[in-house]
Amino acid sequence: MARIGFIGLGIMGSGMVANLVKAGHEVTVWNRTSSKYPEIEKVGAKTVKDPSQILAGADFFMYCLADDAAIKEVITGGQNLASKVKPGTIAIDLSTIDPETSASGRAIYEANGVEFLDAPVFGTKGEARDGGLWIVIGGKEETYKKSLSVLEPISATTHYMGKGGNGAKMKLVGNLLVASQLVSIGEGLILAKSAGLDLRKVLEVVGVADFKTPIYSGVGAGAIAGDYEVNFPLTLMLKDARLIQAFAKRFNTPASSAVVTEELAKAGVDAGLGELNASAIVKVMADRVGVDLVE
C-alpha cells in the first residue's frame, strides 16, 4: 500500500484514482473544481481543500492535468507544487504536454532531489475506468521499477521508453498517428457516402481488412450513429495537434495530419463543438461538404 497525492479529476484522472483506491492505495486528491469531490469520495479517496495538503507523507505525487497551462499554473509555476515535494516522494506526470514543459518540471524536481517520471497515457475514458491504459514512461529505470505498484493498477501495459522526456515524446508520436487516423476515416466515410456506398458495409470491411484499427472502427461507428459523446474532448485534440506540430518542427520532420487536424479541430471548437469528442472533426469535415454520415 502506498500513500498517493493525486491532482486532476478529469475524464482520465477520475478513473485512475478509482483504480488506485481499488488496488489498496491510500489516495488523497485535489481538484480545482471541488464539485467533483462527492463522486470520488464515494470510491474511497480522500479530498483536500489546499493542494499542498496532498504532499505531506506522500510516497507518490501523481497528476493528470489538461494541458501545459494547467501544469504551469499548478505544478511548475503559480502554486509551484513541484518545489514543495519532499525528497523520497516520486512525482509522476500522466498528462499530455510539450516535452519542453515536462523538462522544466523535471529540472525543478531533480534540483530538489525528487525522482520524476513523465508518464503520459494512451487509451481513453473506458480504459481509464477499467484500469486498461497503455502508459509510456521516461525517467530513471530504477524509478520506473519502484513505481510499478501505482502504474500497474491503472494500465494494461507499461512501456519504459528510456531517459527523462521519452514518455512525453512517445505520446506525441502516438497522437500524430491518432490524428492521421481521425482524418483518414473521416475522408474515407465521406467519399464512400458520396459515392453511394452503404456505410455499414463499408465499416464491415474496415473492421476486418489489413488496414483495420480500433480507431477506425470506433470513430466510424460513432459517426454513422451521429454519436460524438465525449471520451477525449475536441479541445484537447486541438491542443495535441499544436503540440505535435511544435515538436516535429524542432526536428524539421513532417506532421501534415497534425496540421489538418488543427485546422479542423479549431473550426469545431469555434463552432461550439469543443466539449464533444475529438471524433467530431469527422462531423466538421462532413458538414463542410454537406454530407450526412448518419445511417
Q: Given the rule CB under 6 A, which residues bind ligand NAP? A: 8-13, 31-33, 36, 64-67, 69-70, 73-74, 95-96, 121, 124-125, 231-233, 236
Residue closer to ligand NAP, measured from CB, 138 or 199? 138
User: Among all residues, which ones are annotated catalytic?
Assistant: 171
190 versus 280: smaller Cβ distance to ligand NAP = 280
Distances (CA, A) of 267 to 11, 257, 280: 23, 15, 10
Least Å distance, CB 30 to ligand NAP, is 9
26-30 and 46-47 strand pairing: parallel
CA dihedral 12, 81, 76, 11 (to 10 degrees): 10
C-beta closer to ligand NAP: residue 19 or 31: 31
Tell me whether residue 103 or residue 291 sits nearer to ligand NAP (CB atom). Answer: 103
User: Smallest gap, in angstroms, from Cβ of residue 154 to ligand NAP?
Assistant: 12
Rounded to the nearest whole angstrom, what is the least distance from the CB of residue 114 to ligand NAP in the complex? 20
Taking the chain, what is the end-to-end CA distance rounded to the nearest angstrom? Answer: 50
Query: Which residue's CB is nearer to ligand NAP, number 22 or number 32?
Result: 32
Strands (DSSP E) contained in the chain are 3-7, 26-30, 46-47, 60-63, 90-93, 115-118, 121-122, 133-138, 155-162
Least CB distance to ligand NAP at residue 261 (A):
14
| Nearest position to ligand NAP, beta carbon | 10
**Least distance in Å: CB of 197 to ligand NAP?**
30
